[in-house]
Structure formats: structure tokens, C-alpha cells
Structure 1
């Protein structure tokens, strides 16, 4: 199958190219690269910050005063950048007993509904999170150590919800246009061999 060969089937090495046509494929690929960069940078910075804090505590007898706040910022970044990444790789938790019992056309229709509703929910959460950030910004709170406004650390929240919403919307399009059933724009529905054995 052409779709199966082009989708990089379940966790191939590196990011497979987008299987969406034209401009949608460009958006899909760009989001993929931004997510991977944000996650890699966040994890590496958190590891470096934590190690530096431990070394400072043992060598100089005091920790880095900003370490806790920086890790808090990075946890938020990793969590909300990871939402879209998990959606892209079809790794969100799913309850699939009813879904698995359906035939292919039924699974395709259900997947279209699921991804469309999830996209709408993500865009709604994006909207509400912007309202929350504006509320925090109006309070004028700042982080004690880093002396930056508290609302800045939440900026990744609406970005993460928006990117995840886009990812699910693209998956909806993929399921409408493709012959097979897709969990994401390049992950076919089904189970990997190790999941079947469990």
C-alpha cells in the first residue's frame, strides 16, 4: 500500500516526511521540527540545570538560587510541547474496545469524529488558557529568583494546546483523504508487535 510505505509506520528512525498534500504537508513538517527542537532543548536544559545545581550544592555548599524556578519553566514547556508530539506519534491514551470491534469504514468514521472533536477541545483549551494568562498578567506577579513576570512561564500552554489542535485537525484531514485509518498524520491505526504480545 502506498499509504503504508510513506507513513514511516510506527516509530521509524527520525521524523518521517509528512504524508499530507501541499501546504498542509509543509505545516505538518514545520510543526514536527519545532516540537522536536523544543522538547530536546527543554530536556537538555533541565538536565544541565539539575546537574549544575547538584554540583554547586556539593562543591560550594549552596545551590543555584534560580534552579527550581528554571526547572518549573522547563517542565511546563516540555509538558505542553509534548502534547502535540504525542498526538503526532499516536501515543495518547485511548480506550479502544468499541473502536477495535468496528470494521474499517466504521473505524475510519469514528476516528474522523474523535480527531475533529479533540481538535475543537484543544482549540477551546487554548482560548481559555489565554484568558488565564491575561488574568495572571494583570496581577503583576513576578518570580522571586528570576524576576520575570509569572505569566511568561505559562506562554507554552496555549501554544501547546494550539499545536495539538492543529495536529488533530490535520489527522482528521488525513483520515478523510486516505484509504487507511490513521491515529496521526503518519501513524497507521493498529498495534505494534510488542503491544500484541502483552
Structure 2
């Protein structure tokens, strides 16, 4: 009698005991967090910003892919020429210097878009959601303003180099052409931070970037 009463009480407490699939389904629904949503960051009237973000992302990916592959091909070809044919590529070192500038400043915006910049989050992690969102908006706007300021200063520097007419000694490429990635990279990074602030102001979750939601887990959610 006691066993039967215990079974009846257990069935009352767990009405899905006879249907494990239904219980599992309900458990998965309750344990999913909002950070797992994969909806587009910009919709409605803000959809053009999503198109802008996608275009910038494609440009960054293309530039980084070409830059890194060019560095690899150039370095490997130089090693092969040196040890097999006994003759290094005379332009290899200079070309790699140009490519390092390209990859570095194009990668700044790429890292911002994926929320991969170093963050000091000891205080941020202890704040409630509303304060974390407000702080993230402030961080994004201030950082974006600094990026635009650096873009302006770097543009002035590139323009001054253009005025000198300097050219690379080996490849004979105008030096200012190798430095255009400085203002361009800062400009793209500034745009990414402004978009991060906008997506935090228009959506309920806390976003580290346009594509990364700050979650309660150890890892962020990539959209």
C-alpha cells in the first residue's frame, strides 16, 4: 500500500513521467537562454544598417584572406628561392612589411565585429542586465569616437606622407599607398562600435558586437 501511494504521489509531482520525450522537450525549452537566439541584429527601418554591416564584413574577410595568403605565398616562395635556387626574392621583405600593415589594421575592425578585443570585465560582469547594457552602450560609443579621431589623425599623417612623394626603395611603390589602411581600418572599427551601440539600444539582449551576444555562459553566442 505504501509503495502504491508513493508511486501515485510521484506521478502527481511529475505528470510527464509516462512520456519521457515530452518531458525532455519541455526541459530543453526551459533551459534555453535568450542568448541562443540567432535573429538578425537589424530589422525593420534599421535593415540598411544590417546591409552595411554585411558589406563591411565581406570586405574585411576578403582583405584579410588576400593579405594572409599573399604573406604566406611570399614567405614560402622566398624560402624556396633561397635554399633551392640560391637567390632570395629581392622584394620579399618589403612586400611583407606592406602586408603586415594591411592585415593589422584590417584585422582591428574584424576583431571588433566578432567581439574579440581584450576586455576588462571584472566590474561589468557583476552588474545587472540593465546596467551592463548601459555600460556597453557607453563603451561602444566612446570607443567608436576614439576610433574616428584616430582615423582623422591617421588620414592627416597619410596625406603628409603623400605630400613628401616618398616611394619604397625596392618596389618603387608610393609609401602613402601602403598606409591607407590606417585610416580605413580605424574608420571601419569605429563603424562597428557605433553599430554595437545601436544594436544594444534596439534589442533586449546585451551585445558585445553586432554579431556576438553576451551570455551567462563561459562563451559568447556567435550569431
TM-score (structure 1 length as normaliser): 0.89
Whether contact under 8 Å (2:132, 2:206) holds in the other structure is yes
* Displacement of 1:194: 6.7
Q: CA deviation at 1:60?
A: 2.1
Q: Secondary structure at the match of 1:71?
A: helix
CA RMSD of aligned residues (A): 1.7
Q: Which residue of 2 aligns with 1:120?
A: 145
The count of residues paired between Structure 1 and Structure 2 equals 185
Q: Which is bigger in relative contact order (C-alpha 8 A, separation at least 6)?
A: 1
Secondary structure of the residue that 2:209 maps to in structure 1? Answer: coil
Match of 1:19 among 41, 61, 64: 41
Displacement of 1:2 in angstroms is 6.7
Aligned 8 A contact 1:90 1:184 in 2: yes
Tell me, in whole angstroms, the C-alpha distance in 2 between the residues paired with 1:59 and 1:174.
Answer: 54
Distance 1:141 1:192, change over 3 A: farther
Q: Residue 5 of structure 1 corresponds to which residue in structure 2?
A: 37
Normalising by structure 2, we get a TM-score of 0.79
Cα distance 1:103–1:181, how it changes in 2: closer, same or farther (>3 A)?
Answer: same
The structure with the larger Rg is 2
- Point out the more displaced range, 90-99 or 60-69: 60-69
Please give the secondary structure, in 1, of the residue aligned with 2:100: helix
In structure 1, stretches of 5+ residues that fail to align are: 8-17
Residue 147 of structure 1 pairs with residue 172 of structure 2 = yes
Q: Which ranges of structure 2 fall in alignment gaps of 5 or more residues?
A: 1-32
Output the CA distance in 2 between the equivalents of 1:43 and 1:98.
37
Which range moved further: 58-67 or 155-164?
A: 58-67
